A and B are shown apart, each in its own frame.
Chain A
Amino acid sequence: MKRFILWVPLGLFVGFALVVAIMLRNPSEPVIRSQMIGKPLPAFALPPGIAGKPGLSSRDLAQGGPRLLNLFASWCIPCAVESPQLMRLKQLGVPIDAVAVRDRPDDIKAFLERWGDPFQRLGLDPNRHVMIAIGSTALPESFIVDGKGIIRYQHIGEIRPEHIPELMRQLERAQ
């Protein structure tokens, strides 16, 4: 019995070292996914972000067909990175609406003039109420909302060219 107990600390240490080694090799994914997938979009009504383009309410996103909801900001650099892909999606016929987070109308206007404007509607979310309500943690993020206003898919981070096929597939699924 005593012999056995002498080995216990070593055993515990080896177990601990193994756990540390495994966890170091596979760090946990720091990305927090929204828990709202499959749930209806929370009700909101945002004022227009720029002159000449309507604001965005949750009802605008339940119009019978799937739509892409893009959360961006003019001060967010990866948001500029994904703009060519949003323009491409627009060319492919995807209706895209935007929530501009913590932004100012002049800055949004300059951003869209520089990088292109793929958006049908653009709501201003000055204090992140909508961003938090749909479980988004950082910008940019894009959500696919189906024709009934149910959130079907979340894309975290900037949309790169290789993400377009998957987004098109998910839009198809949300049909």
Chain B
Amino acid sequence: MKRLAAALLLAVAGPALSASKAPPDPLSYTQLEDAKLEAQASALMHEIRCVFCQGQSIADSDAEIASDMRAMVRRRIAAGETPEQIRSWLIDRYGAWVAYDPPVEPLTWPLWGAPVVFILIGIWLARGRLKRRRR
């Protein structure tokens, strides 16, 4: 009974990693007025990985640092920076890891090359089968 009560209490307890009480940046949750700029910002936000909750993009994540990064992206796009500039600025800080679209470099060659290799293997296997069937 005591254990059950403890488990129930744990279930309703707030997470120990508390969040700040400061208000969020208005641009975290508000779109830019210019639809074209917002589209650029939104596309970039979907390609930047949240550095705290690492499986999500900053567009999808509710972590505070992700919301601050969204506000930063919108502010910079509105100020005239290109998405490419902002992306490389972030890569300078957090490494290529932070972008979902990894750059082509020796370390990522297998990543880009593997699909091609698998398609070639597939074609080779399929060709063998088709040939045999024709006979």
By the criterion CB–CB under 8 Å, are B21 and A104 in contact? Answer: yes
Measured in the bound complex, the distance between the Cα atoms of B65 and A128 in whole Å is 7
Q: How many interface residues does chain B have, given as a range? A: 20 to 34
- The dominant DSSP class at the A interface is loop
When A127-B68, A138-B52 are in contact, do A35 and B22 touch as well, CB less than 8 Å?
no
Given contacts A137-B51, A137-B94, contact A132 B18 (CB under 8 A): no
Q: Considering the complex, give the chain B residue whose CB is closest to the CB of A102.
A: B20
- Count chain A residues whose beta carbon lies closer than 8 angstroms to a beta carbon of B: 26
Tell me which residues across on chain B come within 8 A of A131, comparing CB atoms.
Answer: 65
The complex places the Cα of A55 from the Cα of B12 at a distance, in Å, of 39
Cross-chain contact B94 with A127 (CB below 8 angstroms) = no
A75 in contact with B21 (CB, 8 Å): yes
Q: Are B95 and A35 neighbours in the complex by a CB distance under 8 Å?
A: yes
Please, which residues of chain A bring their CB within 8 A of the CB of B54?
30, 32
- Chain B: minimal CB distance from A148 (Å): 19
Whole-angstrom distance between the Cβ of B94 and the nearest chain A Cβ: 6
Which residues of B are in contact with A by a Cβ distance under 8 Å? 16-22, 25, 51-52, 54, 64-65, 68-69, 71-72, 91-95, 97-98
Residues of chain A having any CB pair with chain B under 8 Å: 30, 32-36, 73, 75-77, 101-104, 107, 126-129, 131-135, 137-138
